[in-house]
């Protein structure tokens, strides 16, 4: 393989990683990166923090941990990799094994021969099919130059911003703008925010947090067009529920894989619309590999194709491709769709399948919502987390975890990612020998509490009612008893006033159970549902047959509390 010609199209994440890995494996290979832009190997995920001012310059997004700028000179001098920036790959001639390119500065055309070709063409920001998207002040966030434009607009005095799309980028940029004094409205056409990450009741907690920090969130709202002033600058966002004034608009409705070059070359696309690759990241042409945001992956649980464009995945793809274009036989097995992000004071994460994913794929599941502290409750730095765990209702296998709160979330998501990857059952999570000390966790970590609740449900011991189900029943005025087993002090501090509520503290429940009507259905609640679950078992022991508890209690209740 030594001395082979390796050509990489795309110089952001996967491409440079593949090239660098190939160089380490084959010191004699002739390696060329073709990049249409003028910036290389930049950390696109850091752009919201540049907009916020936490990262001072875009150069910092292109530096190694040692402080070296990853530019053409760096790749040439350190990696012996030739970089052709501001160069567009126009066509792939698979028969002759050449890439036809054109310089975007000189218009000069040439052909670059290859033995192995790597496509790392990434993705482009999706744009809604409506007028006004090209007005001044309407941005996408696909490149550091976009981030520079947004930061400049803020510096020039923009006061009102609209973010179209409530996904990860939208949430992160909302924080960046609010913290700089802008009034921000976020518009989402679906019923809840970050719908690809969180189930609706978990998303409701995040939405309330965003609103508490000054973001106006409009769900179930569709953007119709953007209107400008006589200078061609955006002035209003027109929606199906009214107009919103704005001097800055960010379109953040997702990305679309950049597959035109591959498609024109006759390479096979997958059912997601991205490039189809095998486990070695080969395309339908065995001499052409592809990775990063332009390809689809396999979901490790469903075994089905998934489009999951993430920087972490792109870098893993790059390493696998670098191995295989230099004679290796490395496999990329797939992804779990793991996502973590920051939203003001909230840490948010998801791994595996959500409950809505399970319904879509016809997978029977059991869920548990568990609130709790991220470390010993008596430790001064303890902060709250709400976790939702999903398991297969027949096999007990762990399928997914969502978590959010001001407490430490990411390490729990990482534990879940490891557990799901190796196919363990939810009950086995409680046996994991996790690190414990009061400054870091509780003696039984919250992810293990969630696993125990799931296990109790699978055993038929625990019976719960979700927050959505309870709210629907309250709204419909169903006939049941809502039993509050908190202490009188808790009830006074946080009253839940509704005609269905009966208050009996847990410590008095056994002696007062005779006061309760045996012909009624009971939904029991407390702060976190630990006492409510115990109350369920007490009432069942007293002969009550229709008893359940509110999943997660009031700490996980995402709606306004009746007062």
Choosing from 253, 283, 300, the residue where a domain stops is 253
Q: What is the pLDDT of residues 8-27, one digit of tens each?
A: 999 999 999 999 999 999 99
CA nearest to 1, candidates 23, 33, 32: 23
Please check whether residue 40 lies inside any domain of the structure.
Answer: yes
What are the tokens at 415? Answer: 């534990």
| Distance between CA atoms of residues 34 and 38, nearest Å | 11
Whether residue 374 is found in the same domain as residue 275: no
Residues 45, 39 contacting (CB under 8 angstroms): no
Q: What is the pLDDT of residues 159-208, one digit of tens each?
A: 999 999 999 999 999 999 999 999 999 999 999 999 999 999 999 999 99
Instruction: Write down the catalytic residue from 14, 45, 526, 548.
Output: 45
Secondary structure (DSSP) of 246-271: -SEEEE-S-EEE--HHHHHTTPPB-T
CATH number, domain at 368?
3.50.50.60
Choosing from 253, 281, 297, the residue where a domain stops is 253
Query: Residue 534: which residues within 8 A CB-CB, separation 6 or more?
Result: 506
- pLDDT given at position 2: 57
Please check whether residue 434 lies inside any domain of the structure.
Answer: yes
| Distance between CA atoms of residues 434 and 53, nearest Å | 37
Strand order of the β-sheet with 242-245 is: 223-228, 234-239, 242-245
CATH number, domain at 484?
3.40.250.10
Q: Tokens 């910036």 identify what position?
A: 39
- pLDDT given at position 1: 45
SS (H, E, C) 29-83: CEEEEECCCCCCCCCHHHHHHHHHCCCCCHHHHHECCCCCECCHHHHHHHHCCEE
What's the CA dihedral at 511, 515, 517, 522 to 10 degrees?
A: -60
Whether residue 118 is found in the same domain as residue 16: yes
Please check whether residue 94 lies inside any domain of the structure.
Answer: yes
- pLDDT given at position 563: 74
- Strand 223-228 and strand 138-139: the pairing is unpaired
Three-class SS state of 492: helix
Mean pLDDT of all residues belonging to the chain? 96
- pLDDT given at position 562: 79
Please check whether residue 185 lies inside any domain of the structure.
Answer: yes
Whether residue 10 is found in the same domain as residue 115: yes
Q: What is the pLDDT of residues 194-251, one digit of tens each?
A: 999 999 999 999 999 999 999 999 999 999 999 999 999 999 999 999 999 999 999 9
Decide if 45 is catalytic: yes
| Distance between CA atoms of residues 78 and 95, nearest Å | 33
| Distance between CA atoms of residues 342 and 52, nearest Å | 13
Whether residue 369 is found in the same domain as residue 283: no
Please check whether residue 39 lies inside any domain of the structure.
Answer: yes
Backbone phi, psi, residue 523, to 5°: -115, 120
- Strand 123-125 and strand 255-257: the pairing is antiparallel
Whether residue 350 is found in the same domain as residue 438: yes
Q: Per the structure, how many domains does the chain have? A: 4
Whether residue 14 is found in the same domain as residue 117: yes
| Distance between CA atoms of residues 465 and 291, nearest Å | 43
Please check whether residue 49 lies inside any domain of the structure.
Answer: yes
Whether residue 219 is found in the same domain as residue 143: yes
| pLDDT < 70 stretches in the chain | 1-2
The residue range of the domain holding 474 is 464-556
- pLDDT given at position 188: 98
Backbone phi, psi, residue 343, to 5°: -135, 95
Whether residue 178 is found in the same domain as residue 203: yes
Whether residue 263 is found in the same domain as residue 249: no
Whether residue 239 is found in the same domain as residue 312: no
Angle at 12 between CA 8 and CA 17, to 5 degrees: 60
Helix, strand, coil percentages in the chain from 3-state DSSP, rounded to 5: 30, 25, 45
Please check whether residue 69 lies inside any domain of the structure.
Answer: yes
Choosing from 213, 229, 253, the residue where a domain stops is 253
Whether residue 438 is found in the same domain as residue 407: yes
Whether residue 246 is found in the same domain as residue 260: no
| Distance between CA atoms of residues 433 and 418, nearest Å | 13
Please check whether residue 563 lies inside any domain of the structure.
Answer: no
| Distance between CA atoms of residues 490 and 496, nearest Å | 10
CB neighbours of residue 214 within 10 Å: 16
Query: Residue 122: which residues within 8 A CB-CB, separation 6 or more?
Result: 10, 12, 13, 14, 257, 258, 292, 293, 294
| Distance between CA atoms of residues 321 and 281, nearest Å | 7
| Distance between CA atoms of residues 154 and 526, nearest Å | 46
Tell me, what DSSP letter sits at residue 299?
A: B
- pLDDT given at position 369: 97
């Amino acid at each position: 393989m030594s001395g082979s010609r390796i050509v990489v199209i795309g110089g952001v994440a996967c491409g440079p990683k593949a090239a660098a890995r190939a160089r380490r494996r084959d010191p004699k290979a002739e390696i060329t990166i073709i990049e249409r832009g003028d910036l290389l190997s930049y950390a696109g995920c850091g752009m919201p923090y540049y907009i916020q001012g936490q990262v001072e310059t875009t150069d910092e997004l292109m530096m190694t941990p040692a402080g070296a700028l990853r530019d053409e000179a760096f790749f040439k001098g350190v990696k012996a990799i030739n970089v052709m920036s501001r160069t567009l790959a126009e066509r792939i001639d698979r028969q002759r094994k050449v890439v036809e390119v054109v310089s975007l500065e000189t218009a000069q055309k040439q052909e670059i021969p290859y033995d192995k070709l790597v496509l790392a063409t990434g993705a482009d920001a999706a744009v809604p099919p409506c007028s006004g998207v090209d007005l001044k002040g309407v941005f996408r966030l696909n490149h550091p130059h976009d981030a520079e434009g947004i930061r400049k607009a803020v510096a020039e005095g923009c006061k009102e911003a609209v973010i179209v799309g409530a996904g990860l980028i939208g949430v992160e940029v909302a924080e960046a703008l609010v913290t700089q004094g802008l009034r921000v409205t976020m518009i989402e056409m679906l019923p809840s925010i970050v719908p690809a990450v969180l189930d609706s009741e978990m998303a409701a907690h995040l939405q309330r947090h965003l609103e508490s920090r000054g973001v106006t969130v409009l769900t179930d709202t569709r953007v119709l067009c953007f209107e400008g002033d006589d200078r061609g600058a955006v002035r209003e966002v027109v929606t199906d529920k009214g107009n919103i004034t704005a001097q800055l608009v960010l379109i953040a409705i997702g990305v679309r894989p950049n597959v035109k070059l591959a498609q024109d070359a006759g390479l096979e696309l997958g059912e997601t619309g991205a490039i189809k690759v095998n486990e070695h990241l080969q395309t339908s042409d065995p001499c052409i590999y592809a990775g990063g945001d332009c390809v689809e992956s396999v979901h490790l649980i469903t075994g089905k194709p998934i489009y999951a464009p993430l920087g972490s995945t792109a870098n893993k793809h790059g390493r696998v491709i670098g191995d295989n274009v230099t004679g290796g036989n490395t496999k990329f097995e797939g992804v779990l769709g793991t996502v973590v992000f920051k939203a003001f004071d909230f840490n948010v994460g998801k791994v595996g399948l959500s409950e809505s994913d399970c319904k879509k794929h016809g997978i029977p599941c059991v869920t548990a919502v568990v609130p709790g502290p991220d470390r010993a409750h008596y430790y001064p730095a303890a902060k709250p987390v709400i976790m939702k765990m999903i398991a297969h209702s027949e096999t007990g296998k762990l399928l997914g975890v969502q978590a959010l709160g001001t407490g430490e979330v990411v390490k729990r998501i990482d534990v879940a990612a490891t557990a799901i990857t190796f196919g363990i059952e939810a009950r086995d999570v409680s046996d994991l020998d996790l690190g414990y000390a009061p400054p870091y966790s509780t003696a039984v970590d919250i992810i293990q509490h969630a696993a125990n609740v799931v296990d109790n449900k699978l055993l038929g011991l625990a019976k719960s009612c979700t927050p959505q189900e309870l709210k629907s029943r309250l709204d419909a005025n169903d006939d049941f008893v809502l039993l509050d087993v908190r202490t009188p002090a808790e009830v006074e501090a946080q009253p839940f006033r509704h005609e269905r509520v009966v208050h009996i503290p847990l410590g008095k429940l056994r002696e007062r159970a005779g006061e309760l009507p045996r012909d009624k259905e009971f939904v029991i609640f407390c702060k976190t549902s630990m006492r409510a679950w115990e109350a369920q078992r007490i009432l069942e022991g007293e002969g009550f047959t229709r008893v359940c508890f509110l999943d997660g209690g009031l700490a996980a209740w995402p709606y306004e509390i009746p007062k």
